[in-house]
Chains A and B, each alone.
Chain A
């Protein structure tokens, strides 16, 4: 395990948040991912991407700009084509994710997904055969933790879904499903939550409320959030930091997308 870890540096906050030193949770440096399709080539380039503990990072971009690809890489389900650094802060130093991919250590990646990451998908991704409460408790159970019913009820009340805990996901509204999905991603305090357009299925007013509650609940538990969205206005009020994409065409059949800071202005 030791060779996966190195000293975790601290950086000064460069975003709108106060300039107190913050621990870097995830760091990508010169990471690329290329995808070839028939006669076209798509290249995602991430020169420098970092997430600090507890912060809310927005990744904003139109469809086709590579934000899904970035999210897959962050979710540890897509292998980067190359990276100078791709690492996650562990308990005893850096965990070298690029190295795990190189060695194709599926078990280690799955274990990291289980313990260190939480997911909120567009349609929630709740399992239809479990009740809302069971869905929320599942990640905790998979990591060998127990989530007591009062704890669970308190969290559910906090995010406004206490009354639907014992229903199956198919019997609750879209907004309630997303709130349940958020709670499930948070429940085992994973450190980093990845959210993919979590409010795509609800109207704008409700979406703002959900994102606000998400932000609050995540920071209460010290979880960082990376939220991918096309809706800049939705995340502008809550994001600590933002990334966006710039497309260019270095050749007629090549599309290159560079991910860089900014996007809320």
Chain B
């Protein structure tokens, strides 16, 4: 037996396709007309999602995670979080209100109230918007602020931090060179971005502290006094006009008459018979020493006692028992009006040593031989303040301490305060009230968000935007799959019918080939080869059509879909896969025809119909 070419049927199948060229071109066009729109749909879907995704990926806003509420975080917490690989940028922030500063031209009194935001190397909000990160002595303005100030990059502006200390208005100034302006779509508010240290220094200065590095003077870190209100007591009720003036420009907002029991509970003192008491207080906000001085000033010449108080004093513990305690640092006038003996400490004033304030006058009948401590237990401070017991007895049932001490410990309820042996009460430094956090990329946001949640920190992130995009992608993918399934099913059915009919038409020719000695496998291959070829040509035509139309579509839309990204695009691999899938589908569609072809009886060639 002589050898024969293994794939002798291949050229025959090709010649047969060429013989029915018009018919087969129509088939190719029909198939390409199904495939090309599917490629376009897939390209549009992919392009849309990628464009949206690009926008999310490029815009640092979608990587930002903001704390939902004010926190108390120390340096160690920041160090630990910074160590995570999914953290892109992290900077500590201070209390919201404390970061409000004034910014204006040097020497000019015109200035704008702006929020001072800490920044540092790698700040994505600046870097990704093409703005340099400010170094020491530099700042970046938001576009709105730059417009308002009429300032441009390269100019120098003065940043002013205001405070009231010991009743005086004070101001610290830092000149900043503007190195960039942040576009409005990155930050549409009035803000100035500067090195983190400047924010922390501004906060310290506000708290009355000196910042020697910047030449800002001030005191040590003694916690400021905070009073919940004052009680005004006298033999006569104040006239309405005088009473009304007490809530104007004093720092207190409410005035109301209270009874003797309230007076005693607040001050620990007996109220002389027939006296009227007016409480002047803030609304859920304490006021400083200057507020007390303002009330005193307005009541100069009026025969009343002015007694500042702290609403919820800490617990005084003596030998395991709790004793009621009140603050009392009266002036001579107070003592005269109330007819009381002076306590063994001076009238209310700032600037005393801690030892001078940590004193105690016990009420009659309370043992004085053991140590007494004032226990402060708040969320932010844990203090046990030892008190020096003074000889003598308090006039009422409550123990008395200088009201300055209670007012400073009132501050410890909101700010971290520690007790040091040499300095007494000191405001704790290095405690941050929030952070600016950016995840490394948008895919890291959910995990980082969850991590912070596990630490008990509620945060706000654009999780929903990222999730929405994922859902959109999933939905569009499913929609595409449905459309593709319908289209390809139709195309496959048409191909199956066509290939089958073709074999039926050519059964005499195929039987003739069998008669001439081709075996079953050869004639089985005949429609398969044709199917693969038609599928290949059709899918290449579809890809070419897709590429041409995609170019047209991308030329139509870029103006409306910003950033110049293409609304219709597919990775090359997807096109290759589409061609492979289409060829495979056409090949599979020819299987029925191939089966019929292989079942043909060679004797059919001899028969005449």
Contacts and interface: CB of A to CB of B under 8 A. Distances in A.
Interface of A: 68, 71-72, 75, 77-78, 106-107, 110-115, 117, 119, 121-123, 125, 127-130, 134, 138-139, 141-145, 168, 196
B321 interface: no
B23 to A, nearest CB: 12
Contacts of B454: none
A129 B1 contact: no
A220 B134 CA distance: 103
Contact of A113 (B5, B15, B508, B517): B517
B113 interface: no
A75 B603 contact: yes
A72 B606 contact: yes
Contacts of A121: 512, 605-606
Contacts of B607: 68
A107 B606 contact: no
A110 B519 contact: yes
A235 B509 CA distance: 28
Contacts, number: 91
Nearest to B1: A111
Contacts of A72: 603, 606
A125 B19 contact: no
B603 A143 contact: no
A218 to B, nearest CB: 18
Given A72-B606, A77-B603, A196-B606, A142 B519 contact: no
B606 A71 contact: yes
28 contacts: A68-B607, A71-B606, A72-B603, A75-B602, A75-B606, A77-B514, A77-B603, A78-B603, A106-B520, A110-B514, A110-B519, A111-B1, A111-B517, A112-B1, A113-B516, A114-B4, A115-B2, A123-B608, A125-B512, A129-B16, A129-B18, A130-B12, A134-B15, A139-B516, A141-B8, A142-B516, A143-B4, A144-B3
Contacts of B2: 115, 143-145
A125 B603 contact: no
Please list the 5 inter-chain residue pairs (A to B) with the smallest Cβ-Cβ separation, ordered nearest first: A114-B517, A129-B19, A113-B517, A77-B603, A129-B16
B598 to A, nearest CB: 11
Contact of B509 (A127, A134, A142): A127
A107 B519 CA distance: 6
A115 B519 contact: no
Nearest to B18: A129
A123 B604 CA distance: 13
A123 B605 CA distance: 10
Interface string B507-535: 01100111111111000000000000000
B562 to A, nearest CB: 56
Given A72-B603, A77-B606, A78-B603, A110 B5 contact: no
A110 B520 CA distance: 9
B601 interface: yes
B605 A125 contact: yes
B16 to A, nearest CB: 4
Q: Among A107, A115, A123, A125, which residue has the most Cβ atoms of chain B within 10 A?
A: A125
Contact of B512 (A107, A127, A134): A127
A243 B303 CA distance: 157
Contact of A110 (B512, B518, B605): B518
Interface residues of B, number: 30
Given A110-B514, A196-B606, A127 B601 contact: no
Interface string B572-609: 00000000000000000000000000000111011110
A134 B15 CA distance: 11
B523 to A, nearest CB: 10
A139 B513 CA distance: 9
Contacts of A68: 606-607
Given A128-B509, A129-B15, A129-B16, A141 B5 contact: yes
B15 A130 contact: yes
Given A71-B606, A123-B608, A129-B15, A115 B515 contact: no
A157 B608 CA distance: 29
Nearest to B607: A68
A142 B603 contact: no
Nearest to A72: B603
A137 to B, nearest CB: 12
Nearest to B608: A122
Contacts of A75: 515, 602-603, 606
B199 to A, nearest CB: 85
Nearest to A134: B15
A74 B255 CA distance: 127
Q: Among A115, A138, A143, A145, which residue has the most Cβ atoms of chain B within 10 A?
A: A143
A134 B8 CA distance: 13
Contacts of B601: 77
Contacts of B519: 106-107, 110
A114 B18 contact: no
A173 to B, nearest CB: 19
Q: Among B16, B509, B515, B608, which residue has the most Cβ atoms of chain A within 10 A?
A: B515
Nearest to A114: B517
Contact of A144 (B5, B20, B513, B602): B5
Interface in B1-41: 1-5, 8, 12, 15-16, 18-20
A130 B509 CA distance: 11
A142 B518 contact: yes
B515 A119 contact: yes
A171 to B, nearest CB: 12
Given A125-B605, A127-B509, A129-B16, 13 more contacts: A68-B606, A72-B603, A75-B602, A77-B601, A77-B603, A113-B517, A115-B1, A128-B509, A129-B18, A130-B15, A138-B516, A144-B3, A144-B5
